[in-house]
Structure 1
Amino acid sequence: MKLFDLSGRKTLDATSPVSFAEWKEARQGTAISLPQDVEVEELHSYLGSLSLIVLEFPIFRDGRAFTQARSLREYEGYKGEIRASGHLLPDQAIHLRRCGFDSVVLSEDANVKDWEEQLGRYQFYYQNTVISPT
């Protein structure tokens, strides 16, 4: 597993996430993996104790994790790391960052240079974003 930093922080959480089902049962741990069928509002009372939330993209065309990330940042005010995992392409790098993702889990054979090039592709945006301008 390789982690790619989308946010420019360079300090990514190395904690291994537990499944949401496990975490919900024990409410222990600071890193969770959240499936798409869970509403982020369920985490509202616990966001202060979570340092990492991993959002899954089970298939390329399932974009619900984009909505989850944006909701966590914009509506819930989550400040910890949001990580994308699953079927992702370098072309999605900018959209991931603009929705609030900090990092991406890449396969071992992924070309990091492709991801870096995509992040530098545009200098400004016309649409609103959940991140502050850099």
Structure 2
Amino acid sequence: MPLIIKHNQVIEDKWQLLGSDCSIEEALLASQPIVPLTLWQNYATELKQLTKLGIWLDSHETIEEIVGDLPHFSLVALNFPTFTDGRHFSSARLLRERYAYSSEVRAIGDVLRDQLFFMQRCGFDAYAVRADRCPHDALISLTEFSVCYQGAADSPEPLFRRRALQSA
């Protein structure tokens, strides 16, 4: 099983990420599939029968395409096709803040150590680090900063408000 970072620890991944060309049969046979958006759009009725279901969105696909279906997903994976494509940072924040999605939000694709801390601030809680990188090494990046000034999905209050609450 591949390793992922989830809730600040390296664990074995029990989910099966299906490719964009997978069939409905493959999805129904998998124990915990993460299906592409197009498969969901074409076979939502059949896929709703699964007890554990994840969906993945490519960088050009938006959260608004699945908002009404979020209760059906135990996991939303957001694909970063290249290190420089940051569109899904906004998607993760929308999931957490606008749509109150509380299940797993996973980064997949070209995910590198340098991004993890900022992904966590946007609402990601799981990371499938690129295959040629060590997830144990990448995990360290989540603890490299001890204080954040701005509010974000992981800590909505800015530092000056957090300090004011502590001194009150």
Q: What TM-score bracket applies, with the shorter chain setting the length? A: 0.7 to 0.9
Under a length normalisation based on structure 2, what TM-score does the superposition of the two structures give?
A: 0.70
Shift of 1:109: 3.9
Q: Deviations over 1:48-80 (max 9, x none)?
A: 111111100001111011111111111111111
In the aligned structure 2, how far is the partner of 1:3 from the partner of 1:64?
A: 21
**Separation in 1 of the partners of 2:130 and 2:112?**
11
2:56 paired residue number: 33
Aligned residues: 132
Indicate the larger mover: 87-96 or 25-34: 25-34
CA distance in 1, matches of 2:60, 2:114: 25
Tell whether 2:97 aligns with 1:80.
Answer: no
Residues 1-134 of structure 1 mapped to structure 2, 5 A cutoff:
1-5=2-6, 7-8=7-8, 14=15, 15-27=32-44, 28-29=47-48, 30-132=53-155
Cα offset for 1:13?
6.1
Give RMSD over aligned pairs.
2.2
The 10-residue stretch of structure 1 (105-114 or 27-36) with the greater mean CA deviation from structure 2: 105-114
**Is there any run of 5+ residues in structure 2 with no aligned partner, and where?**
16-31, 157-168
Q: Distance in 1 between matches of 2:152 and 2:14?
A: 23
What amino acid is the match of 1:47?
A: L
Give the Cα separation in 1 of the matches to 2:131 and 2:97: 32
1:102 Cα deviation after fit: 1.3
SS of the residue 1:23 aligns to: helix
Q: Which has the higher helix share?
A: 2
1:6-53 Cα offsets, whole Å, 9 max, x none, are x34878763231110001111125211112222212212111111111
Runs of 5+ unmatched residues, structure 1:
none
Matched-pair contact (CA < 8 Å) for 2:104–2:124: yes
Q: Normalising by the residue count of structure 1, what TM-score does the alignment of the two structures yield? A: 0.86
Answer yes or no: is the 8 Å Cα contact 1:74–1:130 preserved in 2.
Answer: yes
